[in-house]
Amino acid sequence: MKVIDTINQAKKTVFSFELLPPLKGNDVSRLHRTIESLTEFDPKYINITTHRDEVEFKELPNGKIEKRTVRKRPGTVAVAAAIQHKYGIPVVPHILCGGFTRSETEHVLIDLNFLGINNVLALRGDGLKGQHVFQPTPGGNANANELVKQIKDLGKGKYLEEDLKNNSPLDFCIGVAAYPEKHFESPNMEQDMLYLKQKVDEGADYIVTQMFFDNQVYYNFVNRCREMGITVPIIPGIKPINLKNQLTVLPKIFSIDLPQDLSKELAKCKNNDDARRVGTEWAIYQSKDLVANNVPSLHIYTYGISDNVSEIIKAAF
């Protein structure tokens, strides 16, 4: 089932969680354990992240530095298909511009269609480590709006090879990302929102937000979107903090603020267990309020950790 139909038909807030494919060398048993611990709460769909190649520098015994390219978490399509077929829960694999040519993207979308997957989250992805600004892959999409257009074109049977005849359209429900506290590269919020509107105008069915820790930031953002004519559902992203160092790491990586009440409590934590307790309580407090305000769905950034997620879902619904 398409995410947009699930949301439109639901009488109350639903929820999904985000899983990362296993690190290369690991098996999928941990992913299965995470899913199995959450199925009793009836997640309506599961997001599967995608990770582009990374550049690493390794010092060799002779003192020289070797540059190499590695993909640490391959297998998004396979993991997504395995989950959807094993549990019967729709999956939403993430599709990136960065690291992929348009032709490779088309092949992934063809594979997903063959596998019975008709939901995707269309994202630009970040630059490679050490790149100050995102560099589009030669032959790839430069921004998420172009990726949305490519996916919508396939929905009309328009493949990259223009002379291809009798084409089957590939029909996907498309989600896109948004940043209630602004994307870190954007010169200002207004410009960022104009680009968001462009993604929706190209055909995105719904929006998922970056994590935020102050619900008022989300409500203000939704109001601004509505004022500028963005009418699609806007799904809030919730990240349960589970490590003490996330007090400083999350603002740095995601360009977001932690409210003073939360940061004060985290600063007092003696260890990760304390931080996890504070983070779970904060996520419950946020989720209860969002559910009470009838948000369409909660998108929970789990990073493969499930016991705090089950606590949050139990308390919020």
Q: Which residues bind ligand FAD (CB under 6 A)?
A: 49-50, 94, 96, 121, 123-126, 143-145, 177, 183, 185-186, 192, 195, 199, 208, 210, 237
Q: Which is nearer to ligand FAD, 105 or 244 (CB)?
A: 105
**Can you give the C-alpha Rg of the chain in angstroms?**
20
Q: Which is nearer to ligand FAD, 20 or 316 (CB)?
A: 20
Looking at the DSSP bridge assignments, the partners of residue 122 are 95, 176
Contacts of 83 (CB under 8 A, 6+ apart): 19, 31, 35, 46, 48, 89, 91
Closest CA to 245 of 218, 217, 276: 276
The owner of tokens 């190209």 is: 202
Closest CA to 50 of 27, 72, 82, 26: 72
- We find the least distance from the C-beta atom of residue 122 to ligand FAD, in angstroms, to be 7
As a whole number of angstroms, the distance between CA 306 and CA 308 comes to 6
- We find the least distance from the C-beta atom of residue 142 to ligand FAD, in angstroms, to be 7
Q: Which is nearer to ligand FAD, 278 or 300 (CB)?
A: 300
- We find the least distance from the C-beta atom of residue 126 to ligand FAD, in angstroms, to be 5
Q: DSSP labels for 212-273?
A: -S-HHHHHHHHHHHHHTT--S-EEEEE----STTHHHHHHHHH--PPPHHHHHHHHH--SHH
Q: Which is nearer to ligand FAD, 195 or 219 (CB)?
A: 195
Q: Which is nearer to ligand FAD, 61 or 130 (CB)?
A: 130
Q: Which is nearer to ligand FAD, 185 or 289 (CB)?
A: 185
Q: Which is nearer to ligand FAD, 35 or 147 (CB)?
A: 147
Looking at the DSSP bridge assignments, the partners of residue 65 are 59
- We find the least distance from the C-beta atom of residue 118 to ligand FAD, in angstroms, to be 18
Closest CA to 221 of 204, 246, 258, 196: 196
- We find the least distance from the C-beta atom of residue 105 to ligand FAD, in angstroms, to be 13
Helix 102-114 × helix 144-155 angle, to 10°: 50
- We find the least distance from the C-beta atom of residue 201 to ligand FAD, in angstroms, to be 11
- We find the least distance from the C-beta atom of residue 101 to ligand FAD, in angstroms, to be 16
The owner of tokens 């063809």 is: 110
